[in-house]
Amino acid sequence: MNIKSLLLGSAAALLAVSGARAADAVVVAEPEPAEYVKICDVYGAGYFYIPGTETCLRIGGYVRYDIGVGDREGTTDVIDVLNPTDRNDTYFKRGRFALKTWTGQETELGTLKTYTETRFNFDSGNVGGFNVASNKGVSLNFAWIQLGGLRVGKDESAFDTFSGYAGNVIDDTIVPYGEFDTNLISYTFDAGNGFSAIVSLEQGSGVYTIDSYVPNVVGGAKYTAGWGGITGVVAYESSREEWAGKLRLDVKATDQIDLFIMGGWGSDDNSPRNFYKLWDGNWAIWGGGTYKFNEKTSFNIQASYDEGKTFGLAANVAHQLVPGFTITAEVDYYNKAVSNWRTVKDDGVGGILRFQRDF
């Protein structure tokens, strides 16, 4: 066999193999069109349809960093590491990540909604005399289901949410206006003309959790209009058999100024405090307002006082540096005078600097 015959034979063999492979080539299927998330604009911005369902979902939350100083907002009387007999004051600091979810879906019985909020905190504080910064666990602040006006699950008490919080300051509980965390079953009626009403059966929390099958009961009514609104709530705490109520007036004085005043009254026949009446004495009052310099900056103030001679004053300036990022600087003052509820006077000043990114 000469070289020429060998080359011709090799070429023929290669052509045969190539032809066979071409005949057996794998055909790659065309990729299917990508299924993009569909936007849901029924319940506001940020919602999208969960693929394969009619449920709209929104995911959000915030990241927050607080720095507190002074008698009320700082960390006081901590042990000096080098000189253990000495005591120092230092910052209180908190880093928080809050994760929120909202869902919505239209049904034959009305809108079906859910809301959850879970918070993760890293705090510092006085622990056994030492300043200790550490993870402070996870808290489930909201986890409720709502169908039409019916709501069930973990929420904040209607005694606070229906009447509204005591102003836009950070420390709004120098004179406390009620506990917050509770499991509940509530129903809200909205007439559509500015009038609404609520009934809520609540469990309470902590030392104020109910001790029988008898729930705490909250009822309220509200009327809102362009000028503001008026709200009244009343609550019965079953374990201690005590009553409490609040009446609130909101006024939109101008396009820039919003004002409010709220008064509370509660019984103390069996206990000086209960889940709804946490202030000293029978009555308390809160008032304040917001002045909007522009769309990004506002000034907020709140004053409070109760029968036990506790006076509180809080004021802050909140500025939105860029969309979604707000910096708030607040100064707080409290004075607890000698009264039937305390034998020693206590007063002090504190401050909070808050950085918050909402998303």
Domains of the chain: 60-358 (2.40.160.10)
* Residues 138/118, Cβ–Cβ less than 8 Å: yes
The pLDDT-based confidence of 119 (bands split at 50, 70, 90) is very high
Q: Which two tokens stand for residue 52?
A: 């394969």
CA distance 279 to 302: 16
Torsion angles phi and psi, residue 306, rounded to 5: -135, 175
When pLDDT is cut at 50, 70 and 90, the band that residue 13 belongs to is very low
How many beta carbons lie within 10 A of that of residue 202, not counting itself? Answer: 28
User: What percent of the chain clears pLDDT 90, i.e. is strictly above it?
Assistant: 88
Q: What span, in angstroms and rounded, lies between the C-alpha atoms of 279 and 245?
A: 12
| 144 neighbors 152 (Cβ within 8 angstroms) | yes
Distance of alpha carbon 106 from alpha carbon 112, whole angstroms: 6
**Does the structure show a pLDDT above 80 at 1?**
no
Q: Residue 270: is it exposed, middle or buried by C-beta count within 10 angstroms (0-12/13-18/19+)?
A: exposed
Q: Mention every residue, 6+ apart, whose C-beta is less than 8 A from residue 191.
A: none
Instruction: Give the span between the Cα atoms of 171 and 358, in whole angstroms.
Output: 19
Of residues 102 and 24, more confidence is placed in 102
Residue 179: both structure tokens together: 């506990």
Cα-based angle 309, 288, 349 (whole degrees, multiple of 5)? 55
Confidence band for 36, pLDDT divided at 50, 70 and 90: confident
Q: How crowded is residue 198: how many other Cβ atoms within 10 Å of its Cβ?
A: 22
Summarize pLDDT for 229-245 with one digit per residue, the tens. Answer: 999 999 999 999 999 99
Separation between Cα atoms, residue 110 and residue 36, nearest integer Å: 28
Query: 80 by DSSP, 3-state: which?
Result: coil
Sign of the alpha-carbon torsion through 266, 268, 273, 274: negative
DSSP E strand stretches across 148-194: 150-156, 181-190
Distance CA 108, CA 90 (A): 57
Handedness of CA 156, 159, 161, 166 (dihedral sign): negative
Residue 31 has pLDDT above 80, yes or no: no
Contact residues for 205 (Cβ-Cβ < 8 A; gap 6+) = 179, 181, 182, 275
- Using a pLDDT cut of 70, give the percent of the chain over it: 90
**b/e map 104-119, b = 16+ CB within 10 Å:** bbeeeeeeebbbbbbb
In this structure, of 34-43, 69-78, 240-249, 295-304, the range with the lowest mean pLDDT score is 34-43
Q: Are 294 and 318 in contact (CB under 8 A)?
A: no
Rounded Cα distance, 127 and 136, in Å: 12
Tell me what pLDDT residue 30 has: 61
